[in-house]
Amino acid sequence: MIETDMDQQLELRLASPGDAELMHGVITQAFGSRAALNPPADAMTDTVADIEGRIADQVGIIASDESGVAGCLFCSMHPDAEVPVGMLHRVAVLPGHRRNGVAFHMVMAAAGLATDAGMRRLRLIARQELPDVVEWWKTHDFTIVQELDEHQLLLDTALPTRVSVPTADDMRELGVRLAALLAPGDLIVASGELGAGKTTLTQGIAEGLQVSGPVTSPTFVLSRIHHPRGTAPQLVHVDAYRLGSEAELDDLDLEETMSESVTLVEWGAGLAEHLAGDRLDIDIERSDDIEDDTRTVILHGVGPRWRAVDLWTLNAGRPAGNQEEK
C-alpha cells in the first residue's frame, strides 16, 4: 500500500487479461474528460480488444484507492533499441482522483519495472495542445527530446542505474569510478541500512578525488571536510543519521561550501534533497541471502546536471565520463 498526498491508501497491481474492460473504461473516461483535441487522442479509438492486446504484450498497472479504481497505464519494453527503453502508454487517471499522486505513483512503479527489465530510459509521447500535461511531466524530470509533428512531443528521462557490487573492494572501486563523474557543486544523497556500504563507497569517492585525511563515518561530528591534494573538488562528508529535520541539517551551513565541493550526505533521504536542484541519489541494498555479501547500488541522477551523464558506464565497469545521449 502507498500513501498518496491526500492521505488515502493507494494500491498498485499488475493488470491481468480479465482487466481489459475495466482498463478500457478508465482510459476512455480519463482521456474523454480532457480538452477536445483535433485530431482526437489515439486512446479514444481503443476497443476492449485493443486493451486485451496491450495487456498481452505490455506491462499494465492499475491503481485503486478506498473508493475503487483510480487510474491505469501501460509500459512497453524495448530491450533491442540502441538504448534500451521503456515506453509509457495510456497514462490515465480518473477526473475525481487527479492531483493526489495517483499518476506519480503509477509512473514510479512503471519506472521500477523498466529498471528491473534492464531499460535505461523511460519515454512517452504527449500532445502539444495540453501544456499543463507537458509541464507535469517536465516537473517530474522528463525532458522534451523531439517534436515528432505539429501535435506530438517525445519526452524522456533517465532510469536509475543498478550496479551489482560483490565485495567491499568492489564498492570502493565503484566509488573511484564515480568520482570521475563528479564536479564542484554536486550533491550526493546516500541511503541504505546500517552496514550497507555507504562509508565504503565514500572512501572510494575520496580516493578518486584524491582528497586528504582518512574517511570514516562522521556520525558524532556530523560532517567533515576533506581537502584535495590536486585539482579535484574537496569532499564534504555528512552523516545525517542523528538529524531529525531539514532545519537541523541546515544548521550545518553546508551552503557555504557546496559550490566548491562534492557534498555527500549519508542517511540524507527526506532531509537533504532541498539543498540543491540537481542531485545524485544513491541507495544501497543488501541481498536477501544472509550468506551473500553482494550489494546492489542504485544510482539516479535528478535535474539537468545529470541528464547528459551516462551512469551506465559504472555498471559496465568502464572509465566513467560525461556522455551525451546519442
243 half-sphere exposure, CB direction, 13 A CA radius: 24
Q: Where a domain ends, among 113, 133, 158?
A: 158
- Of 287 and 176, the one with more pLDDT: 176
- Span 224-236, pLDDT tens digits: 899 999 889 999 9
Is pLDDT at 73 greater than 70 in this prediction? yes
pLDDT bracket for residue 4 (50, 70, 90): very low
Task: Show the cell assigned to 230.
Answer: 590536486
In a domain, 230, yes or no: yes
In a domain, 27, yes or no: yes
Neighbours of 83 (CB within 10 A): 15
Same domain, 170 and 152: no
Same domain, 115 and 193: no
Is pLDDT at 52 greater than 60 in this prediction? yes
In a domain, 322, yes or no: no
Amino acid at 157: T
∠ CA 299-302-306, nearest 5°, is 85
Amino acid at 137: W
8 Å CB contact between 285 and 311: no
Same domain, 216 and 269: yes
In a domain, 30, yes or no: yes
Distance of alpha carbon 164 from alpha carbon 174, whole angstroms: 10
pLDDT at position 7 is 47
8 Å CB contact between 263 and 253: no
Is pLDDT at 294 greater than 80 in this prediction? yes
Q: How many domains does the chain have?
A: 2
For residues 174-198, give the mean pLDDT.
94
Q: At 44, which CATH number?
A: 3.40.630.30
In a domain, 325, yes or no: no
Is pLDDT at 2 greater than 60 in this prediction? no
Handedness of CA 7, 9, 14, 16 (dihedral sign): negative
In a domain, 321, yes or no: no
8 Å CB contact between 86 and 123: yes
pLDDT at position 213 is 82
- Span 128-151, pLDDT tens digits: 999 999 999 999 989 999 999 999
Q: Where a domain ends, among 140, 158, 176?
A: 158
The DSSP bridge pattern shows strands 9-14 and 2-3 to be antiparallel
What domain range is 152 assigned to? 2-158
Q: Tell me, yes or no, if the pTM score tops 0.85.
A: no
Q: Where a domain ends, among 135, 158, 181?
A: 158
- Of 291 and 8, the one with more pLDDT: 291
∠ CA 282-273-301, nearest 5°, is 45
Same domain, 148 and 222: no
Task: Tell me which range, 96-100, 106-110, 251-255, is most confidently predicted by mean pLDDT.
Answer: 106-110
∠ CA 321-325-326, nearest 5°, is 120
pLDDT bracket for residue 209 (50, 70, 90): very high
Using CA atoms of 16, 17, 18, 23 in order, give the dihedral in degrees to the nearest 10.
80
- Of 177 and 321, the one with more pLDDT: 177
